[in-house]
Amino acid sequence: MCGIMGYSGPRPPLPLLVSGLERLEYRGYDSSGVAFFNDRGSIDVLRAAGKVSILKERVGLLEGHPGAAIGHIRWATHGAPTVENAHPHRSGPIALVHNGIIENEQALRERLKSEGVHFQSETDTEVLAHLIRREYERTGEFADSVSKALVQVEGSYALAILCQDAPADLIAVRQGPPLILGMGEGESFVASDIPAFLHFTRQVYSFQSGEIGLIRHGEVRIGTLSTPLSSWKSPVARTISWDPFFAEKGSYRHFMEKEIFESSRALMDTLADRIAPGNLLPELLPLAPFPPPSLTFVACGTSWHAALLGRSFMESMGIPSTVEIASEFRYRPLLIPKGSWVIGISQSGETADTLGALELARKEGFRTLGISNVPGSSLERESDLCLLTHAGPEVGVASTKAFHSQVALLMLFSLALSGRNHETHELAALTRSPHRLETFLEAISPERYDQVVERLRHSRLVMFAGRGVDYPLALEGALKFKEITYHPADGYPGGELKHGPIALVEPGVTIVAPMVEIGLRQKEISNLREIRARGGYVLAIGHSIEESQRGIWYDDKIDLPDGPVWSGVFQAASVLQYVSYRVAVALGNDVDQPRNLAKSVTVE
Ligand code: F6R
């Protein structure tokens, strides 16, 4: 996880590194640090335990000498989140930052120790700095020494490296975790994610795994660890359409809040150009077998919940579908029908478990598809075809607008696969859903939620329950709630409550019930009555919930506009996200960077 950033160019590097690290902070926030050249031409390192704001204070008015510089934010894997373990790590003339895990760290550490090397930290990264230094002392060649050192290393890494003797040079290497190059006028950036440098350039190149780049201001040459520097070539950049505003909070208090309110735009951008009647999702056309006999979705967390919704839409169109948690799927026998498509869903496109599950399917000869929000992600490169959601960068660690865009794409996918690509009521509903959601979000009155927030905040336990499409919504509501409020919460199928979870119900317990699925409403109402009969408090979220029923099967409600399920799921998801957001803010939690989490989970 962790985030790295590097710069080579004429600007004083520290201000841009610190602001880039702030934009990468969703990837980890245990410690941070920078390495840069001072006016005497030597490398200085500044590090701090905790969030980037602490590093920012330490950096103060320092700007750093123009040339190359690197920075890092850490999500601790090897060693506690202390200053000693913070990156950059140094060995003699070499300083580097790392995202990933070195698997043969122990063996390398022992060998280096036996050769007289003293370690300053508990991190696996430090061995890389010592290894490169040793090669550099032998060869005097910066790029060559990096290649020679890294062939001894097993594991995954994205690295940005400085050398005291080459103040304009930055070496970047990718073996696994993401690494993106941003190409400006006479300057270049590398970072774990695009928002870090989006204010400076939209010309990007995604490093392939196994590639190494030598970057000197605007000149970049890229090769592999096994090819000589003389054969390295200039990369071909592509222009991305992301608006730099996406990487700013604007007038919102948190990225999560901003991103909740950007969901309608995320839907609009994801559906644009793909929803012409008669020509839905044109990207699918070259694929065979079309339609496939069945689909298997693999994903984690919120993306898994989007997949569960996707299954409902597919099944409603007669397309057999299963949904698997990627980390489980990849270690089970692969017994899915021949000809199935295996579809990995991942906002970041870098989740190790999802990538691992797709790799397994590909090796077994299945057609693989990715659904990702990040252009150039590993998922895009490693699947046969990748459908991009266009939610724009999502900075808040808790996923919001990306979920909406995944769900919209899956709805469209179900129509395209089932051949219902001309006017149907589902297509009409989907076409109208961005606008309906926009109108709904604009009408949200924060005061309306005050009482709900107080109730949830002081509840002994909050449970989420729903049937049909409301079940994945309940799971997603519970995940959002627990990850940012830190209060226990779980989601259940409404009909399952009586098989165990109802034992938890007593006064002081609240059940949040998304109720978009009109066909199953009466069944759900029966389940909720059982909750109320045992002292539970029911908060219902849906349309056409009669006021006269208050106190009969529900205690409070949040009204959604009348409309089809295909619009209702988006509105209900927004309500669930907003409610959790508001409770977390009321509790004074760090909403955008909840404890122990990182946005892009590149470890198993
Ligand atoms: C929850 C959340 C996580 C991610 C999960 C998968 O709000 O963000 O549960 O959904 O880590 O991430 P991606 O979609 O990037 O594969």
Q: How confident is the model at residue 287 (pLDDT cuts 50, 70, 90)?
A: confident
Backbone angles phi, psi at 522, to 5 degrees: -60, -40
> Among 12-21, 128-137, 193-202, 234-243, which is the least confidently predicted range?
234-243
Q: What is the pLDDT of residue 112?
A: 95
| pLDDT score recorded for residue 76 | 77
Choose the residue to mutate in 75, 260, 303 for probing ligand 1, maximizing ligand atoms within 8 Å of C-beta.
Answer: 303
Predicted pLDDT of residue 284: 87
Per-residue pLDDT averaged across 377-405, rounded? 93
Ligand 1: residue whose CA is nearest its atom 3: 301
Token pair of 484, please?
């940012």
Cα–ligand 1 centroid distance for 582 (angstroms): 20
Whether the pLDDT of residue 604 is over 80: the answer is no
> 446-586, superfamily in CATH?
Glucose-6-phosphate isomerase like protein; domain 1 (3.40.50.10490)
pTM of the model as a whole: 0.80
Task: Identify whether the C-beta of residue 306 lies closer than 8 Å to the C-beta of residue 407.
Answer: yes
User: Using CA atoms, how far apart are residues 468 and 470, in angstroms rounded to an integer?
Assistant: 5
Task: For the chain, give every residue range classified as CATH 3.60.20.10.
Answer: 3-240
**Would you say residue 46 has pLDDT above 80?**
yes
User: Would you place residue 423 in the very low, low, confident or very high pLDDT band (cuts 50, 70, 90)?
Assistant: confident
Q: What is the mean pLDDT of the chain?
A: 93
CA of 483 to the centre of ligand 1 (A): 11
* pLDDT at site 398: 95
C-beta of residue 516 within 8 angstroms of C-beta of residue 490? no
Q: Whose CA is nearest to atom 9 of ligand 1?
A: 301
163 flagged as catalytic: no
> Cis peptide leading into 286, omega within 30 of 0?
no
Question: What is residue 153's predicted lDDT score, i.e. its pLDDT?
Answer: 95
Please identify which of the residues 401, 482, 557, 599 carries the catalytic annotation: 599
CATH 3.40.50.10490 region(s) of the chain? 247-439, 446-586
- Pocket test of ligand 1: the residue of 26, 256, 302 to mutate, having most ligand atoms within 8 Å of its CB, is 302
Per-residue pLDDT band at 598 (split at 50, 70, 90) = confident
Q: Which atom of ligand 1 is nearest to the CA of 601?
A: 11
Which token pair is 558? 């949040």
**pLDDT of 143 over the 90 cut:** yes
Q: Is the pLDDT of residue 393 over 80?
A: yes
pLDDT value, residue 26? 77
pLDDT of residue 220: 97
- CATH number of this structure's domain 3-240, picked from the four choices 3.10.310.10, 3.90.25.10, 3.40.50.20, 3.60.20.10: 3.60.20.10
Active site residue 386: no
Alpha carbon distances (Å) from 57 to 49, 61, 64, 70, 556 = 12, 9, 15, 17, 46
pLDDT digits (tens, 9 = 90+) for 435-454: 999 999 999 999 999 999 99
303 contacts: CB under 8 Å, gap ≥ 6: 345, 346, 347, 351, 354, 399, 402, 403, 406
Identify the pLDDT of residue 79: 76
Of the candidates 2, 163, 300, 386, the residue annotated as catalytic is 2
Q: What is the third-level CATH fold of 247-439?
A: Rossmann fold (3.40.50)
Other CB atoms within a 10 A radius of the CB of residue 259 amount to 28
